Amino acid sequence: MPDRTHLALFVGCLALPLAFVVASEHAAGTRLRSATDAAAEVPIATAAEDAYCSAQLKQVVRRVASACGLLESGARGCKPADAKAVAALTGEDFNALFTPLSQRARIVQFDEGEGRLDEAGMREIETVWAEKRGASFFFVVSRASTDGGVGYNAQLSQARAQAVLQHLEAKFPQDEDLKKVGLLWLGEEFAQLGPEFCDWQRSRTGSPCTAQDINRSAFVAWIDCAI
């Protein structure tokens, strides 16, 4: 009987440390998975990332990239009806987010009612494209002025966004970075630009510029934000 008691105690002494080790490994694994999941949700900075990459801008970049076909295969581009849901911001706030990009982005202007690029617009796009510096995404945010009907302007802003992409595809057909191009066409319903954007780098610098002129445009920029 004493031998059985000693044996039971011996086995018990072995079992306790083993149970502790198993429990510790399980807890460590849980913590590791939690840390990994959390890390996946937090944007990781890269050497190319610039100071304008605020948490709010990263959030918009992530949403637009996902919705506009950049993070997985699917239709490339977002229409005006999706813009508020994608950005989760008012038009004014949406524009304010991009203010720090004033030295990085360009505004490609179009004629009234026109979805085709002129020579100045083509040059401006090529200039911006050459400044990629390893950036994550190339955003094309196109607009239309309030002239004409809402449906017409939605189609017009889409044509302007696609004109930018088509020019890049024609000019740089073998460039792997073409898959980084995301289109967001806003029509007239969302994020109209104010006349203060006339001071930005634009394809028709030196020409008269009103709020109507500046909204007949496509905003193009490489975004150096890790998402």
CATH number of domain containing 204: 3.30.1330.60
The whole-number mean pLDDT for each consecutive block of 10 residues of the chain, a chain of 227 residues, reads 43 40 42 36 39 75 68 59 66 77 89 96 94 81 90 92 95 90 85 89 91 93 78
Q: In this structure, what are the phi and psi dihedrals at residue 185, rounded to the nearest 5 degrees? A: -105, 130
Neighbour order of strands in the sheet with 181-185: 106-109, 217-223, 137-142, 181-185
Q: Identify whether residues 12 and 86 lie together within a single domain.
A: no
Residue 193 lies in a domain: yes
Residue 96 lies in a domain: yes
What pLDDT is recorded for position 204? 94
Report the domain count for the chain.
Answer: 2
Q: Identify whether residues 31 and 91 lie together within a single domain.
A: no
Q: Identify whether residues 126 and 186 lie together within a single domain.
A: yes
CA distances, 34 to each of 29, 38, 41, 156 (Å): 8, 6, 11, 46
Residue 47 lies in a domain: no
Q: Identify whether residues 23 and 61 lie together within a single domain.
A: no
Q: Identify whether residues 37 and 60 lie together within a single domain.
A: no
In contact, 189 and 152? CB cutoff 8 Å: no
Domain boundaries, position 35: 1-42
